[in-house]
Structures are given as structure tokens and as C-alpha cells.
């Protein structure tokens, strides 16, 4: 019987520990749907939401990443920790996986009949019959990815709360205090936003939070394995070529914009390093090859002991493998890409390259740039600075 007592003892310890791990935060929680854009946009929003949660002193519920697959009508929700570790985030602020929150705490903290959706102002439903002028609503689950996102955790809302004119700029105002005054944690245990409580692109001050986003062991290992087994020994340059049809269309907005998507990362948040121009968005094949060769030459001169042996290309569409291989053949440099499309593994490998050339306007490139900045790894952008300006400054470079 002794062994039975022991078994009961260990099981009760286990249960106690599990519950302790999921103790209720009396300061409340923040939940949101990463309902805008694909990974790069969601990552920008994530950093802002993390800063927002910290400023309000509420635990951030880590949402799954929202993905869109060709031919599928509904978004897929991929658990946050598939790609990134939870623990390093805890160093900055309290966070909990959405699945853990829903499984272990929601019944007590956020009962089904008290779930209110937060939006700035009324959001009209696409289904006219749902819009009642006497009862404005967030329609938080209307459309894709909104519905599938909350459905993943069987969340329905029983009401709407319009938080306007409050905003999310906790870095430049005392708005956090206003949120706390308006929404006390005992009455509003969970602020559940229809979209991220953050701006896009990520604010300058929140860029450094990237260092708490650490790749999961699976991706770290896969990146290391690819670099070790596929690339030749020696330094490699990572390239991001954003050139799919959606991008071609997006670049048409260049002519009537001051900034586009992630462009503040090279132009500066107040355009202090220049205005937008077409090649920044869509560099020509010739200029890509020219800039790559120039980068290789510069690395040869500045780091003769760590010669570039290969190039790794990530792209959403055209990797230019034949053109690049041809252009670099006399330099004995090989050109590589992943055998199968994997946006996350591409990112993880780009983050590890010795040098990186990305697209200044792409938030996907911006993710890589921020990660590399946290490690002090060098990054550059296609066609930046502007070719003319670069040539003008050339005599200085050579001095
Ligand atoms: O990440 P994202 O918001 O970056 O969206 P941008 C681009 C998506 O395209 C990525 C795929 O999430 C990937 O799924 N993609 C882009 C890639 N580059 C690569 C790559 O090198 N490798 C692989 N495997 N996949 C903008 C958005 O995208 O595009 C705007 O910010 C808008 O909201 C515009 O939609 C058209 O910032 O580049």
C-alpha cells in the first residue's frame, strides 16, 4: 500500500504545480486577433501589443499566428510557440499562451457570458441584416480571419465595447493610465481586441523588443542544419527578394506615398534619410546583381579571412537562382534556396547569415533586420541609399 500512497502524493504535487503555473493575474489580461496582414505585419503588431500590455500592466495572451494557405477559405491559426519560445518573453513582461489561458483560466477569469469584444468604434457587418442602428456592435467574428480566429478557442462575444478615443501610443503619452482608469481589472478582466492594440509599422521604440522573440528549438535547429549541411563552409550572404505579383501592385503606391509598410526602417520615421523611390520597392535584376557583387567585394576587402562562399536566397516568388549563379560563377560562390517553400525557415536562416540584403519596404525583411540588429549582425537594403547618391558619396568611401 505504501506505493499507492506515494503515487497519490506525487499526483497531488503534480496537480498543485500545474495549478500554480496558471495562477490568475489580478491585473487582468489583453487578448487580440492578429487580424491584419501576414507574418511581417503580425510581427510588427506583436511587438507593439507587448509594449501595450506592459504599459497597462496586464498579462498578454499570446495569440496564434494567423496563416493563409492557397485554396483555403478560412485562415489557419498556428500556436505562437510553434515558431517562438515563450520563456524569453517573460523576461520582459508576463505572457501566457492563448491555449493555456483558455484551458486553465478562462472559465474562472472570463466566463462565456462575460466576453466583450473591444473595438475603437462600431464595425459594420458585411451582412446588412446584422447591423442594428440601435445596437452598434464590433462584429468581432465577422469575416476571415476574424471568425476562424476566435472560433479556434470557441470564443463568442456577448457584447461590444467602443474604446475610442483611447489609443495605443503608450510610448508618447500617459494613455496607459487612462486605460487603467476606464477599464479596471476587476470589472474588465480581459480586454479582447478585434485587431492588435498596436500600430503598423512597429514604433521605433518597440523595435528593440525583438530580442525577446527567440526562435523555437525546431526552427533554430532546422536553420543550423541547413547552414551546416547544404551551404559550403565559409561566410554566406542572405538575400530577401520580394517580387511576387502582390508586391508589384503594392509598389505602385510608391508614387503617392511618403512611407510604405516598413520603409521607415531605412528612410527614418520622419523621412530624415530620404523620400520613397521605385527601386527601393522593386530593384531591377541588374541592380540586384551589381549590389550583390559590390557587397561581396567589400566583404573580401574588409574581412579577408572570412570569405563569402555562398549566397542564400529567400523569396516569395522569383529567387533568380539561374541569374545569380551565372553572375557569381567566376567568383566561386554558389547560390542556394530551400528545397520547399517555408517562410519561417527562410527567416530563421536569413537571421543567421553573415551579411543580409533585404527589401526596405517589406515588413518580412524588417523582421530579419530587427533580429540581426539585436545580435549586431550587418544588414543592408536593396537600392539604398539611392544609386545616384551612393555614387556621389563614393569618393568619400574610398578615402
Ligand atoms: O510578411 P508580410 O506581411 O511582408 O507578407 P511584406 C508577405 C508574405 O509573403 C510573408 C511571403 O508573410 C510570406 O508568407 N513571403 C515574403 C515569403 N517573402 C518571402 C520569402 O522570402 N520567403 C517565403 N517563403 N515567403 C506586404 C504586407 O508584405 O505585402 C502588406 O506588409 C501587403 O500588408 C503587401 O499585403 C502586398 O511587408 O513584405
Helical H segments across the chain, by residue range? 2-21, 39-56, 87-90, 98-100, 106-109, 146-151, 175-182, 217-229, 245-251, 264-267, 278-281, 285-302, 321-328, 343-352, 363-375, 387-392, 394-398
Confirm or reject: Cβ of 136 under 6 Å from ligand 1.
no
Residue nearest to atom 33 of ligand 1 (CA): 37
Residue nearest to atom 35 of ligand 1 (CA): 37
Give the nearest ligand 1 atom to 314 CA: 21
Domain of 77: which CATH number?
A: 3.40.50.11340
Residues 169 and 256 in one domain: no
Residues 73 and 186 in one domain: yes
Going from the Cα of 39 to the center of ligand 1, the distance in angstroms, rounded, reads: 7
Residues 197 and 220 in one domain: no
Residues 329 and 229 in one domain: yes
Of the candidates 311, 162, 340, 138, the residue with the CA atom closest to the CA atom of residue 241 = 311
Residues 159 and 221 in one domain: no
Give the nearest ligand 1 atom to 345 CA: 24
Global confidence as pTM: 0.93
Confirm or reject: Cβ of 44 under 6 Å from ligand 1.
no
Residues 188 and 220 in one domain: no
User: How crowded is the C-beta side of 334, counted as CA atoms within 13 Å?
Assistant: 8
User: How crowded is the C-beta side of 239, counted as CA atoms within 13 Å?
Assistant: 27
Residues 127 and 220 in one domain: no
Within-domain flag for 389: no
Within-domain flag for 18: no
Within-domain flag for 219: yes
Give the nearest ligand 1 atom to 247 CA: 36
Domain of 271: which CATH number?
A: 3.40.50.11350
Confirm or reject: Cβ of 371 under 6 Å from ligand 1.
no
Query: pLDDT digit of tens for each residue in the chain (399 aa)?
Result: 666 666 666 665 555 555 568 999 999 999 999 999 999 999 999 999 999 999 999 999 999 999 999 999 999 999 999 999 999 999 999 999 999 999 999 999 999 999 999 999 999 998 888 899 888 999 999 999 999 999 999 999 999 999 999 999 999 999 999 999 999 999 999 999 999 999 999 999 999 999 999 999 999 999 999 999 999 999 999 999 999 999 999 999 999 899 999 999 999 999 999 999 999 999 999 999 999 999 999 999 999 999 999 999 999 999 999 999 999 999 999 999 999 999 999 999 999 999 999 999 999 999 999 999 999 999 999 999 987 765 555 444 332
Residues 106 and 197 in one domain: yes
Residues 167 and 39 in one domain: yes
Q: Which of 204, 234, 257 is the last residue of a domain?
A: 204
* Domain limits for position 163: 29-204
Q: For cell 498579462, what's the residue? A: 59
Confirm or reject: Cβ of 37 under 6 Å from ligand 1.
yes
Residues 69 and 113 in one domain: yes
Give the nearest ligand 1 atom to 363 CA: 37
3-state secondary structure of 159: strand
CA distance 385 to 387: 6
Residues 256 and 335 in one domain: yes
Residue nearest to atom 16 of ligand 1 (CA): 316
Going from the Cα of 364 to the center of ligand 1, the distance in angstroms, rounded, reads: 5
Residues 195 and 258 in one domain: no
Number of domains in the chain: 2
Amino acid at each position: 500500500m505504501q506505493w499507492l500512497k506515494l503515487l497519490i502524493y506525487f499526483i497531488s504535487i503534480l496537480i498543485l504545480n500545474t495549478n500554480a503555473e496558471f495562477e490568475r493575474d489580478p491585473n487582468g489580461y489583453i487578448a487580440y486577433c492578429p487580424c491584419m496582414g501576414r507574418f511581417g505585419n503580425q510581427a510588427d503588431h506583436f511587438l507593439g501589443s507587448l509594449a501595450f500590455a506592459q504599459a497597462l500592466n496586464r498579462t498578454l495572451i499570446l495569440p496564434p499566428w494567423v496563416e493563409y494557405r492557397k485554396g483555403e477559405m478560412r485562415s489557419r491559426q498556428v500556436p505562437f510557440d510553434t515558431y517562438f519560445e515563450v520563456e524569453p518573453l517573460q523576461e520582459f513582461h508576463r505572457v501566457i499562451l492563448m491555449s493555456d489561458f483558455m484551458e486553465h483560466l478562462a472559465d474562472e477569469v472570463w466566463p462565456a457570458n462575460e466576453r466583450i469584444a473591444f473595438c475603437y468604434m462600431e464595425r459594420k457587418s458585411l451582412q446588412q441584416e446584422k447591423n442594428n442602428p440601435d445596437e452598434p456592435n464590433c462584429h468581432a467574428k465577422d469575416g476571415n480571419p476574424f471568425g476562424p480566429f476566435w472560433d479556434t478557442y470557441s470564443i463568442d462575444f456577448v457584447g461590444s465595447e467602443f474604446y475610442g478615443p483611447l489609443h495605443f501610443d503608450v510610448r508618447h503619452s500617459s494613455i496607459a493610465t487612462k486605460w487603467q482608469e476606464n477599464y479596471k481589472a476587476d470589472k474588465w478582466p480581459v480586454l479582447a481586441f478585434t485587431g492588435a492594440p498596436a500600430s503598423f509599422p512597429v514604433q521605433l521604440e518597440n523595435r528593440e523588443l525583438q530580442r525577446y522573440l527567440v526562435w523555437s528549438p525546431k526552427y533554430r535547429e532546422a536553420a543550423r542544419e541547413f547552414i551546416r549541411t547544404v551551404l559550403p563552409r565559409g561566410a554566406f550572404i542572405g538575400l530577401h527578394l520580394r517580387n511576387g505579383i502582390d508586391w508589384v501592385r503594392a509598389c505602385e503606391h510608391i508614387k503617392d506615398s511618403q512611407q510604405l509598410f516598413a520603409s521607415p526602417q531605412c528612410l527614418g520615421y520622419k523621412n530624415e534619410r530620404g523620400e520613397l523611390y521605385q527601386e527601393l520597392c522593386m530593384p531591377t535584376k541588374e541592380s540586384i546583381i551589381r549590389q550583390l557583387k559590390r557587397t561581396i567585394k567589400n566583404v573580401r576587402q574588409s574581412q579577408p579571412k572570412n570569405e563569402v562562399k555562398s549566397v542564400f536566397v529567400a523569396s516569395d516568388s522569383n529567387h533568380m537562382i539561374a541569374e545569380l549563379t551565372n553572375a557569381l560563377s567566376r567568383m566561386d560562390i554558389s547560390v542556394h534556396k530551400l528545397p520547399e517553400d517555408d517562410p519561417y525557415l527562410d527567416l530563421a536562416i536569413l537571421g543567421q547569415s553573415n551579411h543580409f540584403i533585404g527589401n526596405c519596404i517589406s515588413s518580412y525583411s524588417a523582421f530579419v533586420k530587427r533580429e540581426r540588429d539585436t545580435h549586431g549582425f550587418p544588414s543592408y537594403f536593396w537600392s539604398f541609399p539611392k544609386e545616384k547618391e551612393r555614387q556621389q558619396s563614393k569618393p568619400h568611401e574610398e578615402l
